[in-house]
Chain A
């Protein structure tokens, strides 16, 4: 079986500092609005009965951050809908855009992770390439919390478990992302789209 590279993300460690976003932007010299990696913040909670005072309800709230980029999915929607055949998986399982063939139609924006990033100046779609040629991706190297890792997804899953979708990310059954997550202690798993 060929190699499949992917990301590990530790939601229990991420502080939402966005160093990964800046490192990626700097490494690729992206224009305003183009971000291969993004950090989103998720909040939730519920009302619970007070343990000591009957009839009193108290809010239990939580918040956490998620750093997300292209997950180089095993079943990438972007590749399936590209009318030009410009999106392919390489020998390492990375989903890459051949910019010579990209028509700029943006149909690949149907990615549920919003991973493809359109470069208005060049008129083509761009996508995380795992910082090809570097020892490790800039986002991984820059994370002060060591909340990101990159490598063979099989090995990452062996080490970190099998969770690949927490709220508000989409249900991983949709695209089979090459992603493994250590959830934040309050993270609900992604909702079933059906």
Chain B
């Protein structure tokens, strides 16, 4: 009998899984269920060029319609999964349809963390996660004069850079003491704070937001100190929350994400999870981590597809992340948690340098500012658990390949 594999979620992980299933030779039925009305698309341009101009949605598609026909992947768009009947192996949709499955993959993603403060329902307050979010924001950004961004993470700063390039007055409020504090080294935070200041962004760190003021539409953002910052548009980018409700309601183990093993198997032997919603053990770093990155979604989509085909596809993958702001490409390789030494290579006062994180001399992670070649080398060295001499690493007269 022909097997049916159902994938819930039309993001990077779900799309990659469908692709890998076919490339691995799976000839059964593949159904891809997505809440959104669009074919699976690239999310990363949504905070960048998509907001700045009339970018056709079709330019963002991960794959175009003929690909899904060719690969015989049945798309269920605008279809929300509401529950899983694990005993009967059926996925229920909001429109009362039921999809039987032999194996089910949950690529549910994450949702933007909501700011639950007075005035939160006023018009002009946006979050940015989906194409529909971006389209709504784009319309308002075109007419806005004063934008306040709450949160100086990837989304907030990319959005700030885009809005400044569009000539908007931009203020960024960050509760931590430096931008992107959870993901980059202090030197890199300083660099971006300076770069945004040069571009005219007013970046305030260590600031809590306590309320939004306005009658029907937001007029200002009120800080914890009672300061009022005028705004006709607000975007909140304070992180994401994994989408686990569907899995948790079905009794699948969840703990800040759907708990999976290195092969992306959940606590149900017929159900798998991948991407932003999954918490998996890292082969390279040992700990169980939940990563919100394109790379992780692609990698786990691949691993889950391999597992569904009976192959152990787990690898010691090195996570990587990137962000584009103005003319700066930030690339991050590895996870810096637990580092004891940070070494800057190059002058952080310039537009090209890197910061290397070591633990006991072993390379854990690296942040590269416009240093793509260094980044490529760092990925290999992190995988190889390369040990480096901090003094030699900091010496720019020595080429990296002489380390």
Instruction: Give A contacts to B, CB under 8 Å.
Output: 75, 77, 80-81, 83-86, 100-101, 103, 105-107, 109-110, 112, 114, 168, 170, 173-175, 193-194
Q: Nearest-CB distance from B396 to chain A (Å)? A: 20
Q: B320 touching A103 by the CB < 8 A rule?
A: yes
Distance of A168 Cα from B298 Cα, bound (Å): 28
Task: Classify the interface of chain A: helix, strand, loop or mixed.
Answer: loop
From B58, B60, B67, B331, name the one whose CB has the most chain A CB atoms within 10 angstroms: B58
Cβ of B98 under 8 Å from chain A: no
CB-CB contacts below 8 Å: B251-290 with A = none
Q: A80 touching B45 by the CB < 8 A rule?
A: yes
Q: A85 touching B329 by the CB < 8 A rule?
A: yes
Task: Classify the interface of chain B: helix, strand, loop or mixed.
Answer: helix
Q: Which residues of chain B are within 8 angstroms of A80 by Cβ–Cβ distance?
A: 45, 49, 59
CB-CB contacts below 8 Å: B38-81 with A = 42, 44-45, 49, 56, 58-64, 66-67
Q: B66 touching A100 by the CB < 8 A rule?
A: no
Q: B376 touching A101 by the CB < 8 A rule?
A: yes
Q: A112 touching B322 by the CB < 8 A rule?
A: no
Closest to A101 in B: B372
Q: A83 touching B372 by the CB < 8 A rule?
A: no
Partner of A110, one of B49, B62, B322: B62
Closest to A111 in B: B64
Distance of A81 Cα from B40 Cα, bound (Å): 14
Q: Which residues of chain A are within 8 angstroms of B295 by Cβ–Cβ distance?
A: 103, 105
Distance of A106 Cα from B20 Cα, bound (Å): 12
Q: A174 touching B331 by the CB < 8 A rule?
A: no
Q: A193 touching B42 by the CB < 8 A rule?
A: no
Closest to A81 in B: B42
Distance of A105 Cα from B321 Cα, bound (Å): 12
Q: B56 touching A193 by the CB < 8 A rule?
A: yes
Closest to B59 in A: A77
Cβ of B87 under 8 Å from chain A: no
Q: B45 touching A81 by the CB < 8 A rule?
A: yes
Closest to A82 in B: B322
Q: Which residues of chain A are within 8 angstroms of B49 by Cβ–Cβ distance?
A: 80
Interface code B99-133, partner A: CB below 8 Å = 1, 0 otherwise? 00000000000000000000000000000000000
Q: Which residues of chain B are within 8 angstroms of A170 by Cβ–Cβ distance?
A: 64
A81-B320 in contact given A105-B294, A107-B294 (Cβ < 8 Å):
no
Q: Nearest-CB distance from A78 to chain B (Å)? A: 11
Partner of B58, one of A86, A100, A105, A193: A193
Q: A100 touching B376 by the CB < 8 A rule?
A: yes
Q: Which residues of chain B are within 8 angstroms of A77 by Cβ–Cβ distance?
A: 59
Q: A174 touching B42 by the CB < 8 A rule?
A: no
Distance of A86 Cα from B372 Cα, bound (Å): 9
Cβ of B402 under 8 Å from chain A: no
Q: Which residues of chain B are within 8 angstroms of A175 by Cβ–Cβ distance?
A: 59
Cβ of B373 under 8 Å from chain A: yes
Q: Which residues of chain A are within 8 angstroms of B372 by Cβ–Cβ distance?
A: 84-86, 101
Closest to A102 in B: B376
Distance of A107 Cα from B16 Cα, bound (Å): 10
Distance of A160 Cα from B58 Cα, bound (Å): 28
Q: A174 touching B45 by the CB < 8 A rule?
A: no
Q: Which residues of chain A are within 8 angstroms of B62 by Cβ–Cβ distance?
A: 107, 109-110
Q: Which residues of chain A are within 8 angstroms of B375 by Cβ–Cβ distance?
A: 84
Distance of A150 Cα from B42 Cα, bound (Å): 32
Q: B331 touching A110 by the CB < 8 A rule?
A: no
Q: B298 touching A105 by the CB < 8 A rule?
A: yes
Q: Which residues of chain B are within 8 angstroms of A75 by Cβ–Cβ distance?
A: 59
Q: Nearest-CB distance from A34 to chain B (Å)? A: 14
Q: Which residues of chain A are within 8 angstroms of B379 by Cβ–Cβ distance?
A: 103
Q: Nearest-CB distance from B55 to chain A (Å)? A: 9
Q: B42 touching A110 by the CB < 8 A rule?
A: yes
Q: A174 touching B59 by the CB < 8 A rule?
A: yes
A174-B294 in contact given A101-B372, A109-B63 (Cβ < 8 Å):
no
Distance of A134 Cα from B295 Cα, bound (Å): 37
Distance of A180 Cα from B224 Cα, bound (Å): 61
Distance of A182 Cα from B162 Cα, bound (Å): 41
**With A84-B372, A85-B329, A175-B59 given, can you name 8 additional A-B contacts, CB distance below 8 Å?**
A75-B59, A83-B294, A83-B322, A100-B376, A101-B376, A103-B295, A107-B42, A194-B58
Closest to A83 in B: B322
Q: Which residues of chain A are within 8 angstroms of B320 by Cβ–Cβ distance?
A: 103
Q: Which residues of chain B are within 8 angstroms of A106 by Cβ–Cβ distance?
A: 298
